[in-house]
Structure 1
Amino acid sequence: MNTKTEALSIFLIENTSSFTADWLKQQDIRTGSHYSPDAPPEVMEKLKEQNGNYVKLVAQSLFQDEDEMRRCISDWTAQTAPERANSDTSLSEVTRNGGIFRSLILDYVEKFAEQSEHDITIKDLMIWVKKLNRTFDYVMETFTENFLEILLNRLSSQSNLINELSAPVITLTDEVGLLPIIGDIDTARAKSILETTLHQSTSTGISYLIIDLSGVVMVDTMVAHQIFQLIESLRLIGVKAILTGIRPEVAMTAVQLGLDFSEIHTENSLKRVIYTFARKLDISPA
């Protein structure tokens, strides 16, 4: 190992506390952020610990080969990215503070060059700066990748939950269920409705499912195809579907598109079909 590089690495590690203090002085108060000076004491202590470990990680990278540096950095960002993503810390704050950290590290390299007993040359400084920049660039690359993956997975889960909640099968009796569909239906939502409805219909053990379309303002060929597919799939699992609440404009559009609802049981209102089932099953409607 180069003696000068080893001395610089030791200098950075030995000055971890003062470095962290200098870094914290440059933080803005952003309530809720892990980087904010007003963060809870336990959060601040954790941040200081992480910052100290980060300094050591960067110091060690000065004498690591490329593969070893990447492995150590990947392990580090895989640990810290979830913690930042689970706080109110934004990616822009992470990027800003990464820039502050990089700038301070270079300041400390300059301090080392000024104080060192070694003969530090311009070439030495350029080698260190290039090495550090590669390390910091890889930190941001892997941190951003991990951070965004966490957020995208979270958005996907929330989207799936919203889609599931937007197509609930409401059990009216042991035999009859109601599926109210509201709003626009795109390909993704249509697929979600199909999967969720089949699962809920099977789990509840219903024999009839009323599909209420009174909240659907537009039907195109794709939507109609999905409705037909849903009805046919329900039939295959032993559930008879009944369409109700088809709005006049939707009916007109369906006719213009040449869509055939003749083989499907339809009713003109949800109230009427529920009343019919109430009489058939000898239930007193509220």
Structure 2
Amino acid sequence: METKAKALYQFIVEKAPQFTEEWFTHQSVKTGSDYSLDAPPQISEKIREQNSNYVRLVAKSLDQSNEEMKETIGAWTKKTAADRAQSRTSIAEVTRNFGIFRRIFWQFIERFTSETNLPITIQDLFYWEKKLNTALDYVIESFTKEFMKIMIMRLEAQSSLIKELSAPVIELTDYIGLLPIIGDIDTARAKNIMESSLQQSIDSGISILILDLSGVVTVDTMVAKEIFQLAEALRLIGVETVICGIRPEVAQTAIQLGIDFSGMKMESSLQKAVRKMAKNI
């Protein structure tokens, strides 16, 4: 490392704890945020440690190639992004604090240039600006990438769970299952119900599925088509479908629309469907 860059590096590393305390003075009380002044002591201590380590990593970039810098900083941002994602710290809060971090970082470089006996030239400053700002930019770039990756994975997992819960096949016996459907059915939900119920029926090994429509307020031709397709798909995998619980007003609407359920096994209510099957057990 060139003499002046090495001296700057040592100065920043030695001042890392002081740097972090100055950075901390810009925090306020924000409930749930890791950066909040009222955060638990163990969280505040961890934040201080992570901040000081970022100071050292950015300073180290003075003697690294871009590839080396990205490798060391990227490994650290994976850890810190995971920590922030576990809390209620928003990405907006992270970027705000990073802006403070950058300003303080350059304030310490200004202090170094005023305190050192080394002859600092404009070329030195431009070189440091290029190296350090590249590293600082990569900190926020890599952090944001990791943070958003975690958030997207979490949302996808939650979405998958919601979809599964919206079409649960309940095992009544070893071979009889119940699929209660509640609310409106659009094309997207109908597709999810079909995919989910088929897979759940296969996984549970049932041979009869009771489709309870008592919670469905309206039935149109699209809904009827999806019900028929579901029954046919279940038949192809060896599962018999019994439809029950169609409301009187829904039945009237179905007749007016010319929807024909006559080719399907029907029961007026879930209780009757279960009672009839219980007799055959």
Counterparts of 1:81-92 in structure 2, within 5 Å, are 81-92=81-92
Number of residue equivalences: 281
Residue 32 of structure 1 aligns with which residue?
A: 32
1:180-217 deviations in whole A, cap 9, x for unaligned? 01123344433432233223323433322110122223
Hey, what's the Cα distance between the residues in 1 that align with 2:174 and 2:108? 73
Q: In the alignment, is residue 160 of structure 1 matched against residue 160 of structure 2?
A: yes
Question: Given residue 149 of structure 1, which amino acid in structure 2 is its aligned partner?
Answer: K
Hey, what's the Cα distance between the residues in 2 that align with 1:193 and 1:7? 65
Counterparts of 1:148-227 in structure 2, within 5 Å, are 148-219=148-219, 222-227=222-227
Residue 233 of structure 2 aligns with which residue?
A: 233
Residue 67 of structure 1 aligns with which residue?
A: 67
Residue 261 of structure 1 aligns with which residue?
A: 261
SS in 2 for 1:148: helix
Residue 16 of structure 2 aligns with which residue?
A: 16
Q: In 2 relative to 1, CA 250–139 (structure 1 residues): closer, same or farther, beyond 3 Å?
A: farther
Hey, what's the Cα distance between the residues in 2 that align with 1:250 and 1:11? 77
Residue 105 of structure 2 aligns with which residue?
A: 105
In the alignment, structure 2 segments of 5+ residues that lack a partner are: none
Residue 284 of structure 1 aligns with which residue?
A: none
Residue 245 of structure 2 aligns with which residue?
A: 245
Q: In the alignment, is residue 48 of structure 1 matched against residue 48 of structure 2?
A: yes
Q: In 2 relative to 1, CA 71–241 (structure 1 residues): closer, same or farther, beyond 3 Å?
A: same
Residue 121 of structure 2 aligns with which residue?
A: 121
Q: In 2 relative to 1, CA 128–248 (structure 1 residues): closer, same or farther, beyond 3 Å?
A: farther
Hey, what's the Cα distance between the residues in 1 that align with 2:136 and 2:186? 42
Hey, what's the Cα distance between the residues in 1 that align with 2:82 and 2:223? 39
Which moved further from structure 2: 176-185 or 187-196?
187-196
Q: In 2 relative to 1, CA 252–141 (structure 1 residues): closer, same or farther, beyond 3 Å?
A: farther
In the TM superposition, residue 56 of structure 1 has moved relative to its aligned partner by 0.7
Which moved further from structure 2: 17-26 or 1-10?
1-10
Hey, what's the Cα distance between the residues in 2 that align with 1:85 and 1:143? 11
Question: Given residue 109 of structure 2, which amino acid in structure 1 is its aligned partner?
Answer: V
Q: In 2 relative to 1, CA 10–256 (structure 1 residues): closer, same or farther, beyond 3 Å?
A: farther
In the TM superposition, residue 112 of structure 1 has moved relative to its aligned partner by 0.6
Hey, what's the Cα distance between the residues in 2 that align with 1:269 and 1:19? 71
Q: In 2 relative to 1, CA 254–9 (structure 1 residues): closer, same or farther, beyond 3 Å?
A: farther
Question: Given residue 55 of structure 2, which amino acid in structure 1 is its aligned partner?
Answer: V
SS in 2 for 1:210: strand
Which moved further from structure 2: 10-19 or 132-141?
132-141
Q: In 2 relative to 1, CA 18–226 (structure 1 residues): closer, same or farther, beyond 3 Å?
A: same
What's the TM-score once normalised by structure 2's chain length? 0.89
Hey, what's the Cα distance between the residues in 1 that align with 2:152 and 2:261? 39
8 Å CA contact 1:106–1:129 kept in 2: the answer is no
Q: In 2 relative to 1, CA 111–186 (structure 1 residues): closer, same or farther, beyond 3 Å?
A: farther
In the TM superposition, residue 157 of structure 1 has moved relative to its aligned partner by 0.8
SS in 1 for 2:139: helix
Which moved further from structure 2: 108-117 or 205-214?
205-214
8 Å CA contact 1:177–1:206 kept in 2: the answer is yes
Question: Given residue 268 of structure 2, which amino acid in structure 1 is its aligned partner?
Answer: N
Which moved further from structure 2: 19-28 or 183-192?
183-192
Q: In 2 relative to 1, CA 52–259 (structure 1 residues): closer, same or farther, beyond 3 Å?
A: same
SS in 2 for 1:62: helix
What's the TM-score once normalised by structure 1's chain length? 0.87
In the alignment, structure 1 segments of 5+ residues that lack a partner are: 282-286
Hey, what's the Cα distance between the residues in 2 that align with 1:2 and 1:184? 70
SS in 2 for 1:32: coil
Hey, what's the Cα distance between the residues in 1 that align with 2:272 and 2:219? 23
